[in-house]
Amino acid sequence: MSSSAGRKAGAKSATGYFRRLGRRLTEDLDQLDAEQLAESADASGACRVSECRRGEEATMLGRLRSVDSCPQAAGANVQAEFFDGTDAITLVWIGRRRIPGIESGRHIMVRGRIGEREGRKVIYNPYYELRGNS
């Protein structure tokens, strides 16, 4: 390889580095976070929420955006909004007032059958595995 060809290759990689750095510094943080979540889910082989359909069983990897508890005596449940970088889905654990480890910002892997409630995707009583904190 000639020295001029080596310099051109080095200049291209440096240009790519500065382009990526500039993008990271100027792009919306939520957009970057969503892209990072989607990439990690793809790398793990998990399904994307945006591609899951009602009736399918799916395994997804993402983060809990919010967690709400409804401790009514007869209808206690915990609801969480799960986001994988492509779309959100509601997780509902029926008969639970609280679940240790299920908290906002937590990375989690979930598996269950996709349903629909009020036009939104939902999984009732999903199997879950807690992953590292964000």
Copy the structure tokens of residue 21. 């750095």
Please state which CATH class domain 31-133 belongs to: mainly beta
DSSP letters spanning 3-66: HHHHHHHHHHHHHHHHHHHHHHHHS-HHHHHHHHHHHHHHHHTPPPGGG--TT-EEEEEEEEEE
- Identify whether the C-beta of residue 70 lies closer than 8 Å to the C-beta of residue 22: no
pTM: 0.70
Q: What is the pLDDT of residues 10-68, one digit of tens each?
A: 455 667 777 766 666 666 666 666 667 666 666 667 788 888 899 999 999 888 989 99
* 130 pLDDT more than 80: yes
pLDDT (average), residues 2-10: 49
The predicted-structure confidence for 93-123, as pLDDT tens digits, reads as follows 998 888 999 999 898 999 999 999 888 999 9
